[in-house]
Chains A and B, each alone.
Chain A
Amino acid sequence: MRVKEIREDAWYAIGGSALLGPGDVQPVHLFDVERVAWRGTDGKSHVWHNRCIHRGMRLQYGFVDGDRLACRYHGWRFGGDGKCAYIPAHPDMTPPDDFCVPAAPSAEADGLIWTSIGTPDGPPPDLSEFDKLTFCRSVAVNCAAATIEAAAAKTSFTPFSAAPPSGVFLSRHPAPGIIVIETAPDIGESLVLALQPAGETKTHLHVLSTAAVADDDIPALRRHFSAWARRFRGHAETVAA
C-alpha cells in the first residue's frame, strides 16, 4: 500500500498524544476536512467535526470545562459523547438528545492520535513490529504526501543510539500514510514517518524513532530527530518546488 493511494477509510495520525494535554483544543486538517481535537481533564481525547451545531462556530476556538468542550460563541457545553449537556442561555433547559456534535473515529496508539474522514474497519496501523517507538516531532511541510514519499525514498539519517550504518537506506510503506526508513543491513534503529495529508500542497509529518533509549535520553532523542525533521522538510519542499 502506497502513501499516495489516498484512502478515505484509512486511519491517519494527526499528532503526538503528549502534545494534546488535558484541557487542550486544537484544529485538525485532514484532506479537505476540518476537525477539532480536544482532551478533557478526565484524560480522554476526542476528534469531532469542527463546527458547533448551533451557529456553525469553529469549535477549535472553544475551551475545555472539565470533561466537556465549550463553544466560544455561546458557551454551549458538549460532553465526551458529543451530546450537548448545558446551554447557558437557558440554564434550566435539558438539551434534547439530538443536540449533538458529530464525532469522527479516533484512537490513541503508539504515542499518536489517529482519526479518519471515513469509516475504518479496524484499529490504526499495527506498528507492533517495533519494540520501542518514541514520538519526536511534527512538522508542517508545504507539499503533497506523494512528494514526501519521493523524498523519503532518497533520505538518510544519523542514528541516535546505533552505530553508523555500513549499508544503504531503504523506505517501505507498511500502511497508508506510514513510511518506515531503515537500513540494510539493519542497524536496529529506524525512523517511522506518519503522514497527515492536508490538501494538495500541505502535509503534516509526524516523526517517530525506534531507537532503544532510556527515558532520560528522550529529550535528546527528540532534539536529534527534530533537527532531522527540519532538514527533511527543506528537502521535500525543494523537490516540490
Chain B
Amino acid sequence: MAITTDTVALNDWEAIGNIDEIASGKRRNTRLLGQDIIAEMDGDRPRVFEANANGGMGREHPAQVLYGHVWTTLGTPVKPPLDMPEFLEDGRRLISCGAVTVRASPLRIVENFLDMSHFPYVHTGILGEEPITEVSDYKFEIRQPDDELWATECSFFQPQAAASADDGQVSEYMYRVSSPFVTVLYKTCPVVEGAWDLVGIFVQPRDEGVCDVHTFMLVFDDTSTYTDLVHFQHEIFLQDRSILENQLPVGLPLSPKFETAIRADGSSMLYRRWLRQKGLTFGTYRDNEDNRAA
C-alpha cells in the first residue's frame, strides 16, 4: 500500500527506531504508515527522510530523540509525544528491548496491552494462572487537556509479576494511552515499596497489518541483568504476538456491535470510542472494504 491518507494517524508523533540502531553513520531503512523512510543521525541530530522509489532521500520530516528512540511525524502534529517525567528519575533503568515485528493492526496491539483478562491464558504461570482469573472493576476515563486514555485502580494476581519477583503478588496497574499507537503501563514495583515500574510500547505501524513494536521498561531493579530483563519482556511479548497474529479480522472493529464485550473490557471499549471520535481509520476494520472477517 502507499502512504495512508488518514490525517489523524499522519499527524501523530511515532517512534521509529531505537537510538542504538540509528547511531551516527548508520541508517535505518524502515516504513511508517505505508511510507518507506530512512532515519539517520547527523551528529546528535536525528533526521528522517522519505525514501524515493530508487532508495534515495526524498522529503525530510521533523525528527527528535526521546526516551531512547527516534521519533518522527509525517503530518502536522497537534500535540507533542507523551510526557514521561519518570524518565528523569534517579535510580530507574531504561531497558530498550528492541523492535519486534508483528503482523497485526497497531490498534489490536495497543488494545491487547490494556487487557488484563488474558494474563492467565496467554502468560500462564507468569502474569496470571487459573483459578485466579477474575478482573476486578477498575476506572477508565479520557483525561483532558492532554486527550489521554487512563485506566486506574486495576489489579491482578500474578505468579511472577516481574523479572525481579520471587513469589506471587497482587499487582496494581495503571494504563495510559497517550496517542493511538503509544501506550505505557505503571505497575507495582516488586523491589521499591510504593513505587511504580513503567513498561511501554511504542508501536510503529509500517502498514495497516504490520508493525514494529518498540518495547521498553523503566524500572527500579538493581539485581536483574540487562539480558534477564530483556528476556522477560520478550517472553511476554512473543506470547502476545501468537495471539495478535491470529485475530480476525485483522483490523480493529470500532463498532461496539461487531465483537462482544464484558465489564473487564471497559478500557478497550473506551479506546475504540476514543479512536472513533478522533476519526482514525488506519488499522481499523471497515465493513465495506477488503479486510473482512473470514
By the criterion CB–CB under 8 Å, are B259 and A53 in contact? yes
Q: Is A93 an interface residue (CB 8 A)?
A: yes
Q: Residues of A contacting B116 with CB < 8 Å?
A: 89
Determine if A73 and B121 form an interchain contact, defined as CB atoms under 8 angstroms apart. yes
Q: Chain A nearest CB: distance from B140 CB in Å?
A: 15
**Considering only CB atoms, which chain B residue lies closest to A95 in the complex?**
B262
Distance in angstroms from B135 CB to nearest chain A CB is: 4
Q: How far is the CA of A88 from the CA of B120 in the complex (A)?
A: 9
Cross-chain contact A91 with B249 (CB below 8 angstroms)? no
Whether the Cβ atoms of B134 and A90 lie closer than 8 Å is: yes
Residue of B nearest to A75 (CB): B121
Smallest distance from the beta carbon of B185 to chain A beta carbons, Å? 18
Beta-carbon nearest neighbor of B135 in chain A: A89
Q: Which residues of A contact B293 (CB under 8 A)?
A: 51, 56
Q: Is the C-beta of A210 less than 8 angstroms from some C-beta in chain B?
A: no
Roughly how many angstroms separate A86 CA and B121 CA in the complex, as a whole number? 14
Docked-complex contact A75 and B133, CB < 8 angstroms: yes
- B248 interface contact, C-beta 8 A: yes
Interface residue SS majority, chain A: loop
User: In residues 128-172 of chain A, which contact B (Cβ within 8 Å)?
Assistant: none
Interface size in chain A (residues, C-beta < 8 A): 24
A103 within 8 A of B: no
Decide if B133 touches A56 in the complex (CB within 8 Å): no
Asked whether any CB of chain B lies closer than 8 Å to the CB of A231, the reply is no
Tell me which residues across on chain B come within 8 A of A34, comparing CB atoms: 248, 294
- Whole-angstrom distance between the Cβ of B269 and the nearest chain A Cβ: 12
- B246 within 8 Å of A (CB atoms): yes
Q: Please give the distance in Å from A92's CB to the nearest CB on chain B.
A: 8
A90/B118 in contact, CB under 8 A: no
Report the separation of the CA atoms of residues A34 and B111 in the bound assembly, to the nearest whole angstrom.
24
In angstroms, Cα B135 to Cα A166, docked, is: 72
B264 on interface, CB distance cutoff 8 Å: yes
A91 touches B294 (CB 8 A): no
Considering the complex, give the chain B residue whose CB is closest to the CB of A86: B133
Whether A218 sits at the interface, judged by CB under 8 Å, is no
Q: How far apart sit A89 and B265, CA to CA, in the bound complex (Å)?
A: 10
- Tell me if A56 and B117 are in contact (CB < 8 A): no
A14 CB to nearest chain B CB (Å): 16
CA distance A90 to B137 in the complex (A): 10
A58-93 interface with B by 8 A CB criterion = 58, 61, 71-75, 87-91, 93
Q: Are B117 and A89 interface neighbours, CB within 8 A?
A: yes
Once the chains bind, are B249 and A56 in contact (CB under 8 Å)?
Answer: yes
Q: Distance (Å) between the CB of B171 and the closest chain A CB? A: 16
From A32, A33, A51, A74, give the contact of B117 (CB < 8 A): A74
Residues of chain B in range 241-294 having any CB-CB distance to chain A below 8 Å = 242-243, 246-249, 253, 259-264, 293-294
* Complex partner residue of B247 from A56, A75, A99, CB under 8 angstroms: A56
Contacts A33-B294, A73-B121, A91-B133; A53 near B246 (Cβ below 8 A): no
Given contacts A33-B294, A51-B248, contact A73 B133 (CB under 8 A): no
The answer, yes or no, to whether A203 is at the interface (CB within 8 Å) is: no
Q: Are A88 and B247 neighbours in the complex by a CB distance under 8 Å?
A: no
Whether A91 touches B134, Cβ cut-off 8 Å, given contacts A34-B294, A58-B246, A58-B248, is yes
Do residues B264 and A89 form an inter-chain contact, with CB atoms below 8 A? yes
Please indicate the chain B residues that have their CB under 8 angstroms from the CB of A91 in the complex.
133-134
Contact A90 B259 (CB under 8 A): no
B contact residues around A58 at 8 Å (CB)? 246-248
Tell me the nearest residue of chain B to A92, going by C-beta.
B134
Does chain A have a CB within 8 A of B218?
no
Q: Which residue of A lies closest to B258 (CB)?
A: A56
Asked whether B90 is an interface residue with its Cβ less than 8 Å from the other chain, the reply is no
- Residues of chain A within 8 A (CB-CB) of B249 are 56
Q: How far is B242's CA from A192's CA once the two chains are assembled, in angstroms? A: 38
10 tightest Cβ-Cβ pairs between the two chains A and B:
A88-B133, A89-B117, A89-B264, A89-B135, A56-B247, A58-B246, A34-B294, A75-B121, A53-B260, A56-B248
Which residues of chain B have a CB within 8 Å of any CB of chain A?
111, 115-118, 120-122, 130, 133-135, 242-243, 246-249, 253, 259-264, 293-294
User: Which A residues fall within an 8 A CB radius of B?
Assistant: 32-34, 50-51, 53-58, 61, 71-75, 87-91, 93, 99
Sample 12 A-B pairs with CB under 8 A, ordered by A number.
A51-B248, A54-B261, A55-B111, A56-B247, A56-B253, A57-B248, A61-B246, A87-B262, A88-B117, A88-B130, A89-B262, A90-B262
